[in-house]
Every structure is written in structure tokens, then in C-alpha cells.
């Protein structure tokens, strides 16, 4: 485990245990403790990555492979937005409020464990913790949809865990170790390809299911729609990316050392990535519910990351990592905004909404920034990550994939424009008449994230230097 | 594969299916404990006594006590809402198909896998394994315990309020 980042795992765990005691007589202490823990962690991470000496050395002194630091940053950022939003969104008298914050912090600690682990078995242990906390967080909303989503999540992701553990057993049997460093060495050596490819295929299948990639996406729309909106933001923004997509990227980088002997596996991953992009985008076009549309959009965007991971070239991996980070920012904004709309208008049915732009201008315009970034419109951050992925496909001679990825980016813009017109622009509906803008604390996370989306887009050359260091360390 | 080991594997499968199929939660909890007992015997048989001791004491002992305690608390509620069993009838069928397929394909599969086997980097004392080699996994286990406690705290207050 990356020791420099160990504190980012232990401190949220400690705070999670402390919360039920501290909030026993003062429920608000749960909000304060959770937010202060994550804010302090984020400040420390910012110092680690952006101190003057670090920038002067062009990120040469980054701890570990640099990827862990970046992803821990994304985890803390989304976690902070979700806890801050929840503090004003959740019912004051919710009986399990302290447990809700404890679960969120354990989830943050588990995700930190996933991205700082140096061994596939350790990663598996933390992914399982994440599955348990996610299941409980989805059921926080006791509606029928929430329970249905949680059950679907359970029935699809726990068999996925069985596939992963069988795959790990086969890798352990044939390679004698599960540490990334040893796997890298063994895969570069002249080992028999059959059993290793089989084990890797089972592990990848498990993580594909956990990522909600098509055709294993059935649980994602129900889970995201059924859960409380901040929980949806947490799940869609970061949890599924860390519990599934991160491991796929990790496995794809290891397979690069296999010297083309697992080519079929990489090609399958790319195909599923493209299928996910297409099915997610087309399904999103047909949705009538705001949150459900965002869920399908999330499936589509995960497809871009999986496609790039399957390609596995340095440029593609830079694009995959950057798109993963970007997805955390823009999807969090959109899900939190859907929560604001639900709070204000009382519904997320897009046929009943319309004209909210006049009464909810901040929510409307932060949505515009996030949707443009998702669709890959310059100069926002999403443009750069999609450009890198498409360029990597083009450079590798996969021009059909590149053109289709570009084409579905336009479809992304189309379904978001339809959403924006139905929800925020156009004529005011009855529901919109009595829908005031939500309070400043509920807007703050979306505004901060939008600032980050713009800043990452405009300062991309600096961020590219960081990503290049990461790619060099994980591949070369 | 020799016969006693085969019996242990067959009993593990039988108790597992029984645990899922049982009408009573109490029976399920007892069957789950029996699964842990047979699994710990398998661990002993394979020369992993520490894993066997942990499986026997924690899974068969402690967790069973917790399950039975919880079941006795909710039993009266459960009996008021009998569940539909129809969908569970598919499970023994699926298990039978898997067992027949496994009977034919798994022994040659494992025989072939054994040919590829490479010795693991293990050895040493239990302390060395827990505190040095697998320290991160222990941290993961602590997180799992914390998650379990918070899941219970998150679910049960709502039930009692209603």
C-alpha cells in the first residue's frame, strides 16, 4: 500500500466510528465531522499535488505512481460535495442520519484503499467493503424504486465478486503472487498464456459487471434513480468508477506487458466500451425521467473510459484517467442539480418540468456547463479527455472506433440539449411556477465543480504534464 | 481426489443450498454454521490450520450466535408475512446442472491447472503473515466490520420508527 496516502484511509475510518458517539445528542455534529474530515483531507491533497516545489519539479516528486494521488483527490472532492449537499438536503429528523454519514466516510476510506493498494487481493477486499456500503446507501431511500435498485445491485454485483475471486485464485495458482509489481514481471516473462488469460478474463468480467458496462448495466438506472439524489451523485460520480473501472484500467495496463498474448481480451474490452457508449447514449435519448437519463448517460461515458483502457496505449490511458476524473466532476454536478430540481419542483419527470431557467438560474447554468463538458465541447475539461481518447484510437489505426466515438459524442450533446430544453428552457409549466431556486449551500458544490471543469479545461497543458508523469509511471 | 475430501466438499454444497432454501431463518443460520464447519475441516485437511481455526471460531461460532440472536428478535414479524417460494425451486435444478457439468469438467481442469502451478511467496508464522505480508488486508477487514455495523445502524432505526 502507498504509505504516503495511508492517512487518507485511516482518518475517514476514525471519523466514521466517532460520528455515532459525537452525534448522539447533537445530530448536526455528524454533518460537521464528515465535512471537516473530507475538507481537511482535500486541503492536504491539494498541498501534496500543487505545492510550489512540486509544480517547479514538473510533478517529478509525486508519491507512488501519481494515479493514486489523483484518484484520492477525486474521491475526496466528490465525497465532500455529497456530504456538504446532504447536510442541507436530508430531512433533519432522519433517524439514521449519523449512520448515513458514517457509511459515506467508510465508502471514502474503502475507495482510498482500492486506489492505494498494490495487490489485487487487497483491492478485492476494499471493493467488497464498497459493495456493502453502496448497497446500504441505496436503501437509505426506502421507496420501492430504492429497494428495487438495491436488490438489483446486490444480485448483479455479488456474483461479479465470485467471478473476480475465482479469477484471482487462478492467477495466484499460475503466477504465485497477486502484487502488481510481481504480475508485471511475470507477464513480461515467458509464461504460458492460457491460464493467465483465463484468470484475467474472469477478473475483467467481474469488474465489467461492477462498472455497469453494457450488457451488464441493468442495475445502474434503477440504483441511481431509486437512491437519494446525493447517493446517486456519489455512486455515479465516483463509486462505480473506482469499484469497477479503476480495476479495469489496472488490469489493462498489466496486460500491456503480456506482449500481445491477450489481444482478444483487449479487443473484447474495446468492443464492450463502444457498445456501452452507443446503447447508453441511445437509451438516454428515450428517457423521460431526469435522473434515469443521467444514469444512462453515465453508462455511455463509462464506455469511453473502458474503450480507452482496452486500447491501452499511453495516450489512451492518459485519456481514460482524465475522463474518469472529469466524469466525477460533471456527473456530480448533474446529479446534484437533479436533486435540487426534485427538491424545488417536487418531480424529476421531464414532461412535467419546463421553464425552470427563470426561477432556478444557477441550477440551470451549472447544468449547461456540466452537460457541455460531458458532450466534449471546448474549452471545457471533457473536451480534452475525449479528444485524447479519439486521437489515441485514430493513431492506432482504429478509425471506425474513432469516428463512432466522435459521432456518439454528438448524440450526447443532443440528449443533453433535449434535457435542458425540457427541464430548464421553454415554457413554464405548473410545476415550475412554484419552484424557487434552492438555497446557496445546496448550490455551492455544483458551482465549485463547475469552476473546476472550466479551470481544468483552460489550464489543460499543466494538467497534461501531470497525466504524462502518471502514464509514464504506470506503463513504462 | 480421495473419498473423505469428496464427502466434505459434497456436504459443503449441500449445507449451502439448504441454507438458501430453508423456510425458517433459524434453519438457514444453522446450515450456514455447518457450512463453516465443513469448510474449516477442508482447511485443516489442506494443511492450513490457522485458517481452519479462524473459520471455526469466527464464522461457525461468533457469527452464528449473532445470527441466531437477530433471528430470535425478528421471528414473530417474519411469520406474519410468509414469502412466495416459487422462484426458489429453480435453485436445486441449477445446482444439479452445475454439479453434473462440474463432475465431468472440473477434475481435468484442475489437473491441467496443477501443471501450470507456481509456488506462492508465503511461509513463516501467522504473525508474520498477518502483520507483515497482509497488513493492508487487515485494514480492509476492519473497514468491513465498521461497514457492517453502520449498515445495521442504518437499517434498524427506520424499522423501529415505523
At A40 the pLDDT is 94
Residue A125 C-alpha from the chain's centroid: 19
List of chain A residues whose C-beta atoms are within 8 Å of the C-beta of residue B155: 96, 136, 139
Q: Does B76 touch chain A (CB under 8 A)?
A: no
Residue of A nearest to B109 (CA): A195
CB A359 within 8 A of CB A403: no
User: Shortest CA distance to A388 belongs to which of A319, A438, A328, A452?
Assistant: A319
Q: Does B140 touch chain A (CB under 8 A)?
A: yes
pLDDT digits (tens, 9 = 90+) for A194-228: 788 888 889 999 999 988 888 888 888 888 877 78
Q: What total of structural domains would you count in chain A?
A: 1
pLDDT digits (tens, 9 = 90+) for A373-429: 988 888 899 899 999 999 999 998 889 999 999 999 999 888 888 888 888 887 777
Min distance A192 CA to chain B CA atoms (Å): 8
At A452 the pLDDT is 92
Q: Which residue has the cell 484517467?
A: A321
Give burial (CB, 10 Å; 0-12/13-18/19+) of A88: middle
User: Shortest CA distance to A380 belongs to which of A444, A438, A453?
Assistant: A453
At A77 the pLDDT is 93
d(CA A135, CA A140): 9
Q: Between chains, do B146 and A175 touch, taking CB under 8 Å as contact?
A: no
Residue A179 bridge partners (DSSP): A119
Q: Between chains, do A95 and B161 touch, taking CB under 8 Å as contact?
A: yes
Tell me if ipTM is over 0.85: no
Average pLDDT score over chain A:
86
The mean per-residue pLDDT over the stretch B43-50 comes to 84
Q: Indicate if the alpha-carbon torsion angle A109, A114, A120, A125 is positive or negative.
A: positive
pLDDT digits (tens, 9 = 90+) for B76-121: 555 555 666 665 677 778 888 888 888 888 888 878 777 777 766 6
Q: Does B84 touch chain A (CB under 8 A)?
A: no
pLDDT digits (tens, 9 = 90+) for A338-379: 888 888 888 888 888 877 777 888 888 899 899 899 888 888
pLDDT surpasses 90 at A190: no
Cis omega (within 30 of 0) for bond into A192:
no
At A107 the pLDDT is 94
d(CA B140, CA B137): 5
At B85 the pLDDT is 65
Within a 10 A sphere around the Cβ of B77, how many other Cβ atoms?
Answer: 9
CB contacts under 8 A, B 24-53 vs A, are none
At B162 the pLDDT is 46
Structural domain that includes position A85: 3-475
> Could you tell me what percent of chain B has a pLDDT over 70?
77
d(CA B104, CA B111): 12
At B121 the pLDDT is 60
CB contacts under 8 A, B 112-131 vs A, are 113, 116-121
Q: Between chains, do A9 and B139 touch, taking CB under 8 Å as contact?
A: yes
At B159 the pLDDT is 52
Q: Between chains, do A176 and B147 touch, taking CB under 8 Å as contact?
A: no
pLDDT digits (tens, 9 = 90+) for A26-45: 888 889 999 999 999 999 99
Q: How many CA atoms, within 13 angstroms, populate the side-chain half-sphere of residue B133?
A: 15
Distances (CA, A) of A136 to A101, A110, A147, A149, A153: 12, 14, 10, 11, 11
pLDDT digits (tens, 9 = 90+) for A91-128: 777 777 888 899 999 999 999 999 998 888 899 999 99
Instruction: Output the CA angle A450-A444-A318, nearest 5 degrees.
Output: 30
pLDDT surpasses 90 at A83: yes
List of chain B residues whose C-beta atoms are within 8 Å of the C-beta of residue A16: 146, 150
User: Shortest CA distance to A85 belongs to which of A343, A444, A348?
Assistant: A444
Lowest mean pLDDT among A256-265, A327-336, A409-418: A256-265
pLDDT surpasses 50 at A193: yes
pLDDT surpasses 60 at A72: yes
Nearest CB among B113, B144, B158 relative to A173 is that of: B113
A58 against A142, higher pLDDT: A58
List of chain B residues whose C-beta atoms are within 8 Å of the C-beta of residue A134: none
User: Model confidence at B137, in pLDDT bands (50, 70, 90)?
Assistant: confident
pLDDT digits (tens, 9 = 90+) for A268-290: 889 999 999 999 999 998 888 88
Give the pTM: 0.88
Q: Does B87 touch chain A (CB under 8 A)?
A: no
d(CA A375, CA A301): 9
At A313 the pLDDT is 86
Give burial (CB, 10 Å; 0-12/13-18/19+) of A176: middle
pLDDT digits (tens, 9 = 90+) for A4-21: 788 899 999 999 999 988
Instruction: Output the CA angle B15-A139-A328, nearest 5 degrees.
Output: 115
Q: Between chains, do B146 and A121 touch, taking CB under 8 Å as contact?
A: no
Nearest CB among B116, B147, B150 relative to A174 is that of: B116
Q: Between chains, do A140 and B154 touch, taking CB under 8 Å as contact?
A: yes
Instruction: Count how many pairs of residues, chain A against chain B, have C-beta atoms within 8 Å.
Output: 105
d(CA B15, CA B2): 21
Amino acid at each position: 500500500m502507498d504509505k504516503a496516502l495511508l492517512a487518507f484511509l485511516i482518518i475517514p475510518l476514525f471519523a466514521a466510528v466517532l460520528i455515532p458517539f459525537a452525534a448522539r445528542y447533537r445530530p448536526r455534529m455528524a454533518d460537521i465531522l464528515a465535512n471537516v474530515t473530507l475538507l481537511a483531507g482535500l486541503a492536504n491533497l491539494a498541498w501534496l499535488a500543487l505545492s510550489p516545489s512540486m509544480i517547479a519539479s514538473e510533478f517529478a516528486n509525486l508519491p507512488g505512481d501519481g494515479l493514486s494521488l489523483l484518484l484520492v483527490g477525486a474521491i475526496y472532492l466528490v465525497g465532500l460535495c455529497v456530504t456538504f449537499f446532504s447536510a442541507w438536503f436530508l430531512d433533519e429528523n432522519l433517524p439514521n442520519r449519523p449512520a448515513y454519514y458514517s457509511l459515506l466516510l467508510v465508502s471514502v476510506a474503502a475507495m482510498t484503499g482500492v486506489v492505494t493498494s498494490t495487490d489485487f487481493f487487497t483491492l478485492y477486499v476494499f471493493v467488497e467493503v464498497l459493495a456493502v456500503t453502496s448497497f446500504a446507501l441505496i436503501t437509505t431511500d426506502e421507496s420501492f424504486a430504492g429497494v428495487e435498485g438495491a436488490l438489483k445491485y446486490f444480485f448483479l454485483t455479488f456474483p461479479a465478486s465470485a467471478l473476480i475471486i475465482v479469477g484471482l485464485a487462478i492467477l495466484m495458482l499460475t503466477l504465485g503472487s497477486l502484487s502488481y509489481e510481481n504480475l508485471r514481471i511475470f507477464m513480461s516473462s515467458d509464461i504460458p498464456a492460457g491460464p493467465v488469460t483465463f484468470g484475467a478474463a474472469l477478473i475483467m468480467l467481474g469488474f465489467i459487471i461492477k462498472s455497469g458496462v453494457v450488457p451488464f448495466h441493468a442495475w445502474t438506472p434503477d440504483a441511481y434513480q431509486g437512491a437519494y439524489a446525493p447517493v446517486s451523485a456519489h455512486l455515479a460520480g465516483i463509486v462505480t468508477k473506482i469499484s469497477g473501472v479503476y480495476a479495469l484500467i489496472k488490469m489493462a495496463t498489466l496486460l500491456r506487458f503480456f506482449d500481445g498474448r491477450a489481444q482478444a481480451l483487449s479487443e473484447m474490452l474495446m468492443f464492450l466500451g463502444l457498445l456501452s457508449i452507443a446503447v447508453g447514449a441511445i437509451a438516454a435519448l428515450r428517457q423521460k425521467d431526469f435522473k434515469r437519463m443521467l444514469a444512462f448517460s453515465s453508462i455511455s461515458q463509462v464506455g469511453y473510459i473502458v474503450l480507452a483502457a482496452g486500447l491501452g496505449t499511453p495516450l489512451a490511458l492518459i485519456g481514460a484517467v482524465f475522463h474518469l476524473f472529469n466524469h466525477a466532476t460533471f456527473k456530480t454536478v448533474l446529479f446534484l442539480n437533479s436533486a435540487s430540481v426534485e427538491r424545488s419542483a417536487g418531480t424529476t419527470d421531464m414532461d412535467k418540468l419546463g421553464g425552470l431557467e427563470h426561477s432556478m438560474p444557477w441550477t440551470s447554468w451549472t447544468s449547461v456547463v456540466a452537460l457541455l463538458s460531458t458532450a466534449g465541447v471546448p474549452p471545457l475539461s471533457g473536451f480534452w479527455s475525449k479528444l485524447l481518447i479519439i486521437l489515441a484510437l485514430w493513431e492506432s489505426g482504429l478509425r471506425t472506433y474513432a469516428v463512432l466515438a466522435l459521432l456518439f459524442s454528438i448524440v450526447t450533446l443532443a440528449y443533453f440539449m433535449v434535457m435542458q430544453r425540457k427541464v430548464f428552457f421553454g415554457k413554464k409549466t405548473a410545476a415550475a411556477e412554484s419552484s424557487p431556486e434552492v438555497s446557496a449551500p445546496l448550490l455551492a458544490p455544483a458551482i465549485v465543480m463547475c469552476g473546476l471543469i472550466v479551470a481544468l479545461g483552460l489550464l489543460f497543458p499543466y494538467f497534461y504534464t501531470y497525466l504524462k508523469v502518471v502514464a509514464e509511471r504506470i506503463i513504462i | 481426489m480421495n473419498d473423505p475430501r469428496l464427502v466434505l466438499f459434497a456436504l459443503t454444497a449441500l449445507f449451502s443450498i439448504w441454507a438458501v432454501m430453508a423456510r425458517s431463518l433459524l434453519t438457514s443460520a444453522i446450515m450456514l454454521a455447518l457450512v463453516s464447519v465443513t469448510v474449516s475441516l477442508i482447511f485443516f485437511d489442506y494443511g492450513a490450520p490457522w485458517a481452519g481455526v479462524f473459520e471455526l471460531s469466527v464464522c461457525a461460532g461468533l457469527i452464528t450466535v449473532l445470527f441466531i440472536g437477530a433471528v430470535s428478535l425478528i421471528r414473530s414479524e417474519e411469520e406474519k408475512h410468509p414469502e412466495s417460494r416459487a422462484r426458489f425451486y429453480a435453485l436445486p435444478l441449477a445446482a444439479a446442472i452445475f454439479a453434473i457439468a462440474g463432475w465431468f469438467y472440473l477434475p481435468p481442469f484442475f489437473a491441467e491447472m496443477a501443471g501450470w502451478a507456481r509456488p506462492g511467496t508465503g511461509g513463516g508464522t501467522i504473525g508474520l503473515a498477518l502483520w507483515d505480508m497482509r497488513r493492508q488486508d487487515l485494514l480492509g477487514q476492519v473497514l468491513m466490520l465498521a461497514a457492517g455495523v453502520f449498515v445495521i445502524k442504518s437499517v434498524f432505526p427506520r424499522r423501529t420508527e415505523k
